[in-house]
Amino acid sequence: MTTLTRYISRIFLIVVCVCAVSIGTAGAQPLGRLVISRSPNFGWNLGFHLQIDGTPVTNIVQGHHYHGWVPAGRHVLTVSKVPYTGYSGPTSTIVDVQPGWTYAFTAMWDSNFVFLRPSGAWLTPGELWQNGWPGRPSSVRTIY
């Protein structure tokens, strides 16, 4: 191969790589953080099933929580009791996720129904940092 042909081949390869990277990042959606924990008096023998926008996500039992990232926009969080005994239908909560924000809920149990209660206020990334997240060991807490 001549020097000119190698030069043109390298330039073409660089252009293709740049286009591939720009196409991949153009479709990426901004995300918000979702944390769902159980209340301390939820019950040792009960869990709950979590769905986001009708898609099954996980079952959460004693000593566990859910932490995940969801795309920005309006979402329906649905929870139901596990194991299913008697009449205990699902309950739903609507959340409008903003990019970079954290949304924390606590699963509560009352009268055979599980429901989600917002845990305090919604926090921006700056407020999270001021409160010690991430990486400031003096105020980092584990959510269970």
Query: Given this model, what pLDDT does residue 108 score?
Result: 84
- For residues 8-27, give the mean pLDDT: 61
∠ Cα 31 23 52 (to 5°): 30
Domain ranges of the chain: 30-130
Q: Tens digits of per-residue pLDDT, 107-143?
A: 888 777 788 888 875 555 666 666 665 544 444 444 4
pLDDT-derived band at 144, boundaries 50, 70, 90: very low
Q: Tens digits of per-residue pLDDT, 30-78?
A: 999 999 988 887 777 888 899 999 999 999 888 888 999 999 999 999 9
- Do 109 and 91 touch, CB atoms closer than 8 A? no
For residue 121 the two structure tokens come to 């206020």
Per the DSSP assignment, residues forming a β-bridge with 81 are 48
Q: Phi/psi of residue 51, each to 5°?
A: -125, 140
- CA gap 94, 118 in Å, rounded: 11
Residue 84 DSSP code: -
pTM, rounded to two decimals: 0.64
Residue 103 reports pLDDT greater than 80:
yes
Query: Given this model, what pLDDT does residue 17 score?
Result: 58
Protein fold of 30-130: Immunoglobulin-like (2.60.40)
Tell me if the bond preceding 99 is cis, omega within 30° of 0: no
